[in-house]
Structure 1
């Protein structure tokens, strides 16, 4: 039973949520509507109690015994509190966010692994802020599908989203991508090494004779960055962003004899090592 949440505590919780600008407008509106409904129920409860007296109390107790449930007022308060707690947890998990209204008009960027997830959202932000973005991914069709989605859902300019094939597990493929980029662009302003794999089910080596997770997450990006440095140096204020993970804290080593060894391979440990290298 959730009957012990005081009206004062609930009101303070609601007031705090309504004044918190970090909570989206739609969420604050929902909280306000729920608060109004809760206030109406509270007043109705008071009126019925005043008019009917003991009869209302007996009827309420009987109804609660039959339903095996708490009164609607308490459950409304409970779900409002639960919603607020879950929202706070979600915001904490998302971590810090960039909220400055910065424009990158005319800038050229490359984002790896950008057909879904974080990479796709990075492309969205860069394009909406004015950049031209090259999307490097292993599956060109999925990349084009992401472009169509960003165009239809967010209004991103599809002419400033260029999908190019590039496989981080193939050094030759990386070199071809860079050669093609160099023919099309004079300068690179932003390089975001986002692509990555994790928790692979078995040990595998790439055609370059490196463990797949190790090459995908680190060696491939390392080579890509080295080959693009001349273009980055031509930009004023170029940036290289590497998407890492706190799981690097659990890594044991990045010794070349270990990271490519089947004997020392592990679904999680291989990922942790690659992130430590990042």
Structure 2
């Protein structure tokens, strides 16, 4: 969202030729940073949920699946025959989501599991429950997020709330579910990032924003961490032989509850968001990159998927632009090590 607000302000002050030149710069940057991924082949720009292959017999977990894009993920996957676990905080909203899905998909195989990603004890409890009840997990979709609460909050584990919910909780959840994922013939992990990463930076000396809390900056950092995690997970899977394909995706700018539950609709950001609402993608459109990464046979690990229109706000599906900060493997490795330390979580060092 911070990207959109700045883009709007820029358009108000810059001439047409400078805007066009800036767009060309973004396009060229995208071509450079995604060159290796493009060599693998871009997805069909008009790929849609209708082209999703049957997911019968496959098991998915979607965090934050009670609303927005997570809900659209769960609904589309159940319609394709998958068994879906929706993991979120609010049991009532979870039941409502299941009822809504079953209205459209009467035979949907969908269940709710309680988890608060900002409380790592509940993340570990979820991992244990699923480890004893599921035969395997084919795809984990790390979708849940909060965005830019005005005041800095801390989690049950003492972490800044956006860092905890958007990133650290998913880091631990992925580690907890790794044994189940490795029981799948073709396991995938899809982690949601954001176009906000292009305004983000990774401050490894102050990941919890204790020195200064700027709501959107903290959000951008958490989403940059998510993207770095997705790419680093693929590198580590390849090195350790886990057999997991790890992808990242972003929705562009879609109509969800993030603003209402974050800065609030009465805030300056909320008012600008409301004014721009008609030009945004729907939640269903925003879910397309995630669903492609999760289900398309041709999707590849280590790739970042998203819309490819102007500034990647909306538009045809394609390979998203990876900012230079997210491509820094050394920083990603340091972030991984720090994440293990502050969460008390260790990934295995090999396939054993």
Normalising by the smaller structure, the TM-score range is: 0.5 to 0.7
Q: Following TM superposition, by how much is the alpha carbon of 1:264 offset from its aligned partner in structure 2, in angstroms?
A: 2.2
Q: Following TM superposition, by how much is the alpha carbon of 1:266 offset from its aligned partner in structure 2, in angstroms?
A: 1.1
What whole-Å deviation, never above 9, does each CA across 1:213-232 have from its counterpart, x for those lacking one? 00100000000001111111
Q: Following TM superposition, by how much is the alpha carbon of 1:261 offset from its aligned partner in structure 2, in angstroms?
A: 2.8
Aligned residues: 182
Normalised TM-score (structure 2): 0.50
Partner in structure 1 of residue 55 of structure 2: 104
Name the CA distance, whole Å, in 2 between partners of 1:245 and 1:181. 28
The 5-angstrom pairing of residues 103-182 of structure 1 reads: 103-152=54-103, 154-158=104-108, 160-182=109-131
Mapped contact 1:135–1:164 kept (Cα < 8 A): yes
Does 2:163 correspond to 1:214?
Answer: yes
Mapped contact 1:102–1:129 kept (Cα < 8 A): yes
Unaligned runs of 5+ residues in structure 2 are 1-45, 227-352
Q: Secondary structure at the match of 1:268?
A: helix
Name the CA distance, whole Å, in 2 between partners of 1:144 and 1:218. 25
Mapped contact 1:254–1:276 kept (Cα < 8 A): no
Q: Following TM superposition, by how much is the alpha carbon of 1:157 offset from its aligned partner in structure 2, in angstroms?
A: 2.6
Q: Which structure dedicates a bigger proportion of its chain to helix?
A: 1
Unaligned runs of 5+ residues in structure 1 are 1-94
Q: Secondary structure at the match of 1:114?
A: coil
Does 2:217 correspond to 1:264?
Answer: no
Q: Following TM superposition, by how much is the alpha carbon of 1:254 offset from its aligned partner in structure 2, in angstroms?
A: 3.9
Partner in structure 2 of residue 195 of structure 1: 144
Does 2:169 correspond to 1:236?
Answer: no
Normalised TM-score (structure 1): 0.63
Partner in structure 2 of residue 51 of structure 1: none
Name the CA distance, whole Å, in 2 between partners of 1:137 and 1:275. 19
Name the CA distance, whole Å, in 2 between partners of 1:101 and 1:249. 30
| Structure 1 residues 102 and 171: alpha-carbon distance in aligned structure 2, compared to 1, 3 A threshold | same
Name the CA distance, whole Å, in 1 between partners of 2:129 and 2:175. 16
Q: Which protein shows a greater Rg?
A: 1
Name the CA distance, whole Å, in 2 between partners of 1:239 and 1:260. 29
| Structure 1 residues 168 and 101: alpha-carbon distance in aligned structure 2, compared to 1, 3 A threshold | closer
Mapped contact 2:120–2:157 kept (Cα < 8 A): yes
Q: Which has the higher contact order (CA 8 A, sep 6+)?
A: 2
Name the CA distance, whole Å, in 2 between partners of 1:96 and 1:219. 31
Mapped contact 1:254–1:277 kept (Cα < 8 A): no
Mapped contact 1:259–1:265 kept (Cα < 8 A): no
